[in-house]
Amino acid sequence: MSSFEREFNSAVEAVERDVFINLVLENPQLTLAELTKLGKGKFANLLSSVSVGDILEGGRAGGTRSAAEGNTTNNKKKKRKQKTKPVNTRTPEGRKAYDAAVFAVVENAERPIKAPEITAEVGGTALQVRKSLARLIDRGRVTWEGKARGMRYSTVEFEDDDEIEDDED
């Protein structure tokens, strides 16, 4: 399987997972028994990749109220997605510059960082950030932990004399 196919499949799985989480959040009347029934059908793989924490995190990120907050009218307004600045990744030079910017953000992060946090810093689309991270991972400069929405990126730690080769595109 080519790296494009892997990235494409990963992107499709992430979107399916996000849609599933959003549907669960939009239907709080669903019981655990109903969700369990979904786990026995064609959604078994999808349901097995989602944790309660993912749903709770998705609810907070989407501006939905948790049960503890109640139904008060003084809740904060929903977070709106801010438009990110466009970047040029169509040329090898543009990709190289974008990869350098993405690497700098990951390198300067105090902890492993999520892709949306990187996007907020360097601009571009979610796909551009994921492709840049995939290139950096292929070069051995960045590593990851977690799955799907929980994926976080950090720089690869090297021994004192180890050096990495910078591939030319």
What does the pLDDT profile of the chain (169 residues) look like in tens digits?
777 888 888 788 878 888 888 888 888 788 888 878 877 777 777 777 777 777 777 655 444 444 444 444 344 444 445 567 888 899 999 999 999 999 999 999 999 999 999 999 999 998 999 999 999 999 999 999 988 888 999 999 876 555 555 555 4
Residues 155/118, Cβ–Cβ less than 8 Å? no
* Closest to 136 in 3D by CA, of 166, 109, 93: 166
pLDDT at 48: 76
pLDDT at 72: 40
Query: Cα separation of 143 and 106, whole Å?
Result: 10
The owner of tokens 């979904």 is 38
Query: Cα separation of 168 and 153, whole Å?
Result: 22
Task: Count CA atoms closer than 13 A to 60's CA, side-chain side.
Answer: 7
